[in-house]
Amino acid sequence: MGDQSTERAAQEYLAVKLSQEQQQLEDQLNYQAAKSLALVAWRRLAKTVFAKCAEWNAITKEETLACKETALGDLRIRCAGRTHQMMVHFDSRKLQVIIKNSARPENEPDTVLSIMGYPTESGRDAHLVRNHESINMDMLVIGHLRVLAGLSRDENS
């Protein structure tokens, strides 16, 4: 005659084991998606940077922000009349994007974004995250451009 508490414990063990295996599979699929779609995520960010610089320049009616792609594929943004620059670097091996802004306060670290895969209704995609949280690319880029131009990071400060 079997003990019901033993049966429940064994079933709980199997459920936890199955859940862990499913999570490992999900993590593996997300990593593979991040690896294969990293360039797509990078291009989305680069497109956003170029678009925000163009929009900024259209509003100021001058080339206030000069945005160029370097020979290595990084982005370099300069603000007219200022010595500071912003570099956006894509590291495909580490699945990271690093934003270095020489105009930021010295106590602020560089912005490090990770490329992570995630499931969608039609398969998988990849996006940029900071501290494992999704980011608003437009707001991130505008914040860095504001600092580069000598303004505070957000308009309410």
In the beta sheet, which residues pair with residue 133?
130
Q: CB count, 10 Å around CB of 112?
A: 13
Provide the token pair at 143.
Answer: 């914040």
Query: Which positions ≥6 away from 31 have C-beta within 8 Å?
Result: 117
Q: CB count, 10 Å around CB of 42?
A: 24
pLDDT of residue 53: 96
Tens of pLDDT along the chain (157 residues) come to 457 888 888 788 777 777 888 889 889 999 999 999 999 999 999 999 999 999 999 999 999 999 999 998 899 999 998 999 999 999 999 999 999 999 998 888 999 999 999 999 999 999 999 998 999 999 999 999 999 998 877 666 5
The helix (H) or strand (E) run that includes residue 39 is: helix 4-60
Provide the token pair at 150.
Answer: 């000598």
* 80 residue type, one letter: A
pLDDT of residue 1: 45
SS3 content of the chain, % helix, strand, coil (to 5): 45, 25, 30
Provide the token pair at 88.
Answer: 């956006």
Provide the token pair at 7.
Answer: 């049966």
CA 117/CA 128 separation, integer angstroms: 9
Query: Which of 131, 99, 132 is closest to 117 using CA atoms?
Result: 132
Against a cut of 0.85, is the pTM above it?
Answer: no
